[in-house]
């Protein structure tokens, strides 16, 4: 074809039959605008603005855009003037953007002059019809991480992805797309890293060097703007901090939602639900949450109850509360078409539903039958939706909401026509944010009604979802590879700004083997959302369903989750304040260690500051794990390992390989049956001997209100200073009173602790097998323990 065209070049060109791509072209004029500069291009218009010295936004359109809009970024206005201009570059205090003018090309460099990333010299930004694409230069040694809830290996290099939120029941470990779309990634090469967030909600395509040449990668969309943020902070945590500065950070979750959560599709009646809750208490297996899947509704109609199967919901919820349980209920977006049904009548009267171009509401079949779908992109529809929870949910005492089917999913895998209209556009640009906007409606509504923290969970997601909801990874499979994939999904979601994430333990679409069940439950401790779920017709999945001796192990595992809650809660505070995820893929801390990008170790992650978790499948009884540089202790034995090497470690089913950083500090509490229990009032502060010092921020608040936003919390910096032989608890910050009146300091891996002083006064260290412990009264004043 090409040759023919060359021969007939004159004819082809002259007749204009063969439309070519349109390149951005030359820079014709540069204006200064609020927060940056505008570039008049031969075939387009570009703006470069900065939100901080490390956050730059590039917006390229065919003609000068009128409106500016984002579902993910609340504040699009650049506050402050960070960009300066020279003849051929823009620069901030941290980065420099070299500008090629003929044609328009951008190269991003750090302050040291290292190139972070650049437009591909041959292709750059172009249009083919409405399709807009940015081709970028790919370094020979470049790795890519993130891009939200995407399957496959940790390193995205060599893969391509489509963003198109999809109900992906029983998805394969390399299937794409699945439920969520977060077009944010980090590139790592040489000694540098950078981040890019392509804020386009359409069917975005990204190709990280898969089918392109060895030196190119691209992302693009079938329409809309080439609108991306470039993050030039010098470390991966800095890039995540900046990304979440733009798209928002997760609020503190209700403490109860961090306990063990038991779900099933479905507990069929009030009787069954209460019975399951009672068994947890009888067997002394801690738990905080039990779920109602779709069976609780009257003919699956949202905001109703099936009072035959679930009579007196309020009484049932009170009984659960009496046992220390919260109930979380599912909520689906489809509103059954049924005159006389309140949600339908109101939605119809007010014109709240998404519609066909002619104006008739769109109809699709879901659980209740034929349904209309609220246009969640409208603020008034979100407010209406949110208020609907009052009578059926919040007045009953429900504080947790599970947003399902919001891709949106139609039964039978049918597709909603992309022509269906919403306030902000057709489904073509709304599909990927439908779930985000539904989760937002549910969160904002229930937050207002409850006047405390709701727990909100969603299946579909887009960038910024962390502000409104936790995310779970949908209908996974009871297979080893799926358990491992699940952790890569959580880790990638974490890197992509969403810290509160979980997966169905131990697989949704069928029955797990006993070994897989045990392994998955023990791994689940290290998921921010610790939730067991399975589909209807599968075998029962509660922790006691796999035999008596295994039940004892399940109890130990869940006990351990509850002991770890002070550590997990403090990690949530970090996520809330800096965007740092709780599940951290190794490239976050060990960015330039090439081993961490290998598939063999790509599922390992740090859980909070000081734990290293090595997911091992249920068949591998001796595992090769990669321990990054530094020294590590096996959590279960205190055996010490030198890092920077692969270690072969026993991994029997009841001993998951988990390591603690030498010098690491981990606050724990006594075993409780649910988070509403007080426990023994002692904070167990574990420290593992290391050569290097460390510091840790302990955080506590009331666990359910928003008063922490006004500063009502208890925060304490804890320092381990081996050179000075001491541990220092700095003065506690904030007016909130800790619930721990006493502290037991537990030192692992150390000798010579026999003589200790506490604030200069002789104290007592007791040796108990491998550890020393020191008991002290807690006070808000500084405490120094010296040996």
* Nearest residue (CB) to ligand MIG, 167 versus 701: 167
- φ/ψ of 300, rounded to 5, equals 60, 25
Report the alpha-carbon distance of residue 525 to residue 528 in Å, rounded: 8
Fill in the per-residue mask, 202 to 231: x = in contact with ligand MIG (CB under 6 A), - = not in contact: ------------------------------
Nearest distance in Å: CB 330, ligand MIG:
6
| Smallest gap from residue 284 Cβ to ligand MIG (A) | 28
Q: Which is nearer to ligand MIG, 474 or 528 (CB)?
A: 474
Tell me the closest approach of the beta carbon of residue 508 to ligand MIG, in angstroms: 6
Q: Give the footprint of ligand MIG on residues 446-465 (CB under 6 A).
A: 459
> Nearest to residue 725, comparing CAs of 699, 686, 751, 761?
751
Task: Give the footprint of ligand MIG on residues 519-548 (CB under 6 A).
Answer: 533
Q: Is 129 exposed, middle or buried (0-12, 13-18, 19+ CB in 10 A)?
A: exposed
The token pair at 572 is 């949530």
Count interface residues toward ligand MIG (CB under 6 A): 10
Task: Exactly one of 225, 326, 332, 404 is catalytic; name it.
Answer: 404
Helix axes 427-450, 379-387, angle to 10 degrees: 40
Of positions 119, 293, 609, 701, contacts ligand MIG by CB under 6 A = 293
Instruction: Report whether 291 contacts 404 (CB < 8 A).
Output: no
Residue 294 within binding range of ligand MIG, rule CB under 6 A: yes
Spatial strand order in the sheet of 226-231: 27-33, 36-41, 44-52, 55-61, 226-231, 192-198, 184-189, 143-146
Q: Measure Cα distances from 437 to 59, 257, 662 in Å.
A: 24, 22, 43
Looking at the Cβ atoms of 292 and 771, the one nearer to ligand MIG is: 292
Give me the least distance between CB of 373 and ligand MIG, in Å please.
15
Indicate whether 700 belongs to the interface with ligand MIG (CB under 6 A): no
Measured from the CB of residue 367, what is the shortest distance to ligand MIG in angstroms? Answer: 7
Residues 302-331 that bind ligand MIG (CB under 6 A): 330
Q: With respect to ligand MIG, which residue has the nearer C-beta, 99 or 330? A: 330
> What's the closest the beta carbon of residue 527 comes to ligand MIG, in angstroms?
16
Q: Residues of 489-527 as b/e, b for ≥16 C-beta within 10 angstroms?
A: bbbbbbbbbbbbbbbbbbbbbebbbebbbbbbbbbbbbb
Residue 199 and residue 496 in contact, taking contact as beta carbons nearer than 8 Å: no
* Of residues 249-268, those binding ligand MIG (CB under 6 A): 265
Min CB(443)–ligand MIG separation in Å: 19
Q: Which pair of structure tokens corresponds to residue 759? A: 């604030």
Measure CA of the first residue to CA of the last residue in the chain; give whole Å: 81
Q: Which is nearer to ligand MIG, 47 or 261 (CB)?
A: 261
Q: Is 474 in the site for ligand MIG (CB under 6 A)?
A: yes
* Residues 398-437, interacting with ligand MIG (CB under 6 A): 404-405
Taking CB under 6 A as the criterion, which residues in 629-668 touch ligand MIG? none
Shortest distance, position 159 Cβ to ligand MIG, whole Å: 25
For ligand MIG, which is the closer residue by CB, 192 or 409?
A: 409
d(CA 503, CA 535): 13
Helix (H, G, I), strand (E, B) or coil at 573: helix
Using Cβ positions, the residue closest to ligand MIG within the complex turns out to be 265
User: Active-site residue among 407, 480, 504, 604?
Assistant: 407
Nearer to ligand MIG, 265 or 607 (CB): 265
Answer yes or no: are the C-beta atoms of 439 and 467 closer than 8 Å: no
Taking alpha carbons only, the member of 502, 406, 504, 405 closest to residue 455 is 502
Catalytic hit among 142, 155, 241, 475: 475
Q: How far apart are CA 344 and CA 27, in angstroms?
A: 54
Q: Which residue(s) pair with 98 in the sheet?
A: 89, 107
3-state secondary structure 472-537: ECCCCCCCHHHHHHHHHHHHHHHHCCCCCEECCECCCCCCCCHHHHHHHHHHHCCCCCCEECCCCC
Closer Cβ to ligand MIG, 294 or 665, answer by number: 294
Is 475 marked active-site?
Answer: yes
The residue among 226 and 330 lying less far from ligand MIG, judged by its C-beta, is: 330
Residue 197 found at the interface with ligand MIG (CB under 6 A): no
Q: What is the SS3 assignment for 456?
A: strand
Q: Which is nearer to ligand MIG, 413 or 681 (CB)?
A: 413
For residue 20, say if its preceding peptide bond is cis, omega within 30 degrees of 0. Answer: no
Exposure b/e, 297-313, CB count within 10 A at least 16 = b: bbebbbbbbbeebbeeb
- Least Cβ distance, residue 502 to ligand MIG (angstroms): 12
Closest distance of CB 536 from ligand MIG, Å = 7
What is the DSSP secondary structure assignment for residue 361, as one 8-state letter?
A: B
Residue from 176, 375, 437, 475 touching ligand MIG (CB under 6 A): that is 475
Choice between 405 and 613, CB closer to ligand MIG: 405
For residue 214, the minimal CB distance to ligand MIG (Å) is 39
Helix (H, G, I), strand (E, B) or coil at 434: helix
171 forms part of the interface with ligand MIG (CB under 6 A):
no
Tell me, rounded to whole angstroms, the distance of Cα 128 from its chain centroid. Answer: 34
> Minimum distance from CB of 474 to ligand MIG (Å)?
5
Residue 407 annotated to the active site? yes
Give the residue with the Cβ less far from ligand MIG, 48 or 405.
405
Other beta carbons within 10 angstroms of residue 88's beta carbon come to 10
Match 């599922």 to its residue by tokens: 603
Contact of 438 with 384, CB cutoff 8 Å = no
Rounded Cα gap, residues 615 and 59, in angstroms: 41
Residues designated catalytic: 404, 407, 475
Q: Which residues bind ligand MIG (CB under 6 A)?
A: 265, 293-294, 330, 404-405, 459, 474-475, 533
């Amino acid at each position: 074809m090409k040759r023919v065209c060359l021969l007939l070049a004159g004819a082809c060109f002259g007749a204009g039959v063969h439309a070519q791509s349109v390149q951005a072209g030359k820079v014709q004029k540069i204006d200064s605008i609020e927060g940056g500069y505008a570039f008049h291009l031969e075939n387009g218009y570009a703006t470069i603005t900065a939100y901080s010295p490390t956050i730059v936004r590039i917006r390229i359109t065919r003609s000068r855009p009128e409106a500016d809009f984002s579902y993910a970024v609340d504040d699009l206005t650049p506050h402050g003037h960070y960009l300066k201009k020279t003849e051929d570059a823009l620069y901030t205090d941290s980065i420099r953007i070299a500008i090629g003018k003929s044609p328009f090309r951008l190269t991003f460099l750090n302050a040291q002059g290292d190139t972070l990333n650049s437009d591909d010299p041959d292709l750059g930004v172009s249009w083919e019809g409405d399709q807009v694409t940015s081709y970028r230069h790919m370094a020979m040694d470049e790795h890519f991480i993130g891009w939200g809830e995407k399957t496959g290996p940790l390193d995205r290099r060599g893969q391509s992805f489509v963003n198109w939120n999809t109900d992906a029941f029983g998805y394969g470990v390399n299937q794409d797309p699945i439920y969520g779309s977060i077009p944010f990634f980090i590139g790592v090469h040489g000694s540098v890293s950078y981040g890019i967030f392509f804020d386009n909600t359409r069917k975005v395509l990204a190709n990280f060097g898969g089918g392109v040449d060895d030196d190119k990668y691209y992302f693009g969309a079938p329409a809309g703007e080439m609108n991306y943020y470039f993050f030039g902070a010098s470390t991966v945590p800095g890039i995540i901090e900046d990304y979440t500065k733009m798209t928002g950070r997760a609020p503190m979750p209700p403490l109860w939602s961090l306990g063990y959560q038991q779900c099933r599709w479905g507990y069929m009646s009030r009787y069954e639900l209460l019975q399951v809750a009672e068994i947890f208490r009888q067997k002394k297996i801690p738990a905080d949450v039990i779920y109602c899947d779709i069976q609780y509704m009257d003919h699956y109609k949202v905001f109703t109850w099936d009072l035959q199967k679930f009579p007196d919901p309020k009484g049932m919820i009170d009984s659960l509360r009496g046992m220390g349980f919260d109930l979380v209920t599912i909520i689906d977006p489809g509103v059954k078409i049924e005159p006389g049904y309140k949600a339908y009548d109101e939605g119809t009267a007010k014109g709240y539903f998404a519609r066909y171009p002619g104006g008739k509401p769109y109809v699709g079949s879901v659980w209740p039958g034929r349904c209309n779908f609220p246009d969640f992109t409208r603020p008034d529809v979100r407010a209406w939706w949110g208020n609907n929870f009052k009578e059926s949910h919040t007045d009953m005492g429900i504080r947790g909401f599970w947003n399902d089917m919001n891709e949106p999913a139609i039964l039978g895998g049918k597709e909603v026509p992309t022509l269906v209209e919403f306030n902000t556009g057709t489904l073509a640009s709304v599909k990927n944010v439908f779930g985000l906007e539904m989760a937002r409606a549910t969160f904002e509504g229930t937050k207002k009604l409850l006047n405390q923290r709701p727990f909100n969970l969603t299946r579909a997601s887009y960038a910024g979802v962390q502000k409104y909801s936790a995310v779970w990874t949908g209908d996974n499979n009871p297979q080893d590879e799926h358990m491992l994939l699940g952790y890569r999904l959580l880790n990638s979601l974490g890197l992509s700004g969403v810290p509160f994430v979980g997966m169905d333990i131990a697989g949704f679409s069928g029955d797990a083997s006993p070994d897989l069940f045990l392994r998955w439950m023990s791994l689940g401790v290290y998921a921010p959302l610790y939730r067991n779920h399975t589909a209807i017709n599968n075998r029962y999945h509660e922790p006691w369903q796999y035999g008596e001796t295994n039940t004892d192990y399940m109890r130990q595992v869940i006990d351990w989750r509850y002991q770890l809650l002070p550590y997990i809660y403090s990690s949530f505070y970090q996520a809330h304040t800096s965007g740092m995820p709780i599940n951290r893929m190794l490239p976050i801390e060990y960015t330039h260690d090439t081993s961490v990008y290998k598939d063999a170790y790509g599922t390992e992650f740090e859980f909070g500051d000081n734990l290293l978790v090595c997911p091992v499948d249920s068949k591998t009884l001796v595992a090769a794990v990669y321990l990054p540089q530094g020294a590590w202790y096996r959590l279960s034995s205190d055996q010490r390992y030198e890092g920077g090497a692969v270690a072969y470690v026993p991994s029997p089913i009841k001993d998951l390989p988990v390591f603690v950083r030498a010098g690491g500090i981990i606050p724990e509490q006594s075993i409780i049956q649910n988070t509403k229990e007080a426990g023994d009032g002692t904070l167990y502060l574990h420290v593992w001997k290391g050569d290097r010092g460390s510091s840790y921020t302990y955080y506590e608040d009331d666990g359910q209100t928003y008063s922490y936003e006004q500063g009502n919390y208890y925060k304490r910096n804890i320092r381990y200073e081996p050179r000075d032989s001491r541990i220092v608890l700095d003065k506690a910050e904030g007016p909130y009173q800790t619930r721990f009146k006493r502290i037991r300091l537990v030192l692992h891996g150390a000798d010579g602790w026999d003589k200790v002083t506490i604030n200069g006064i002789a104290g007592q260290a007791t040796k108990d097998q491998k550890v020393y412990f020191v008991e002290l009264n807690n006070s808000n004043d500084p405490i120094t323990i010296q040996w």
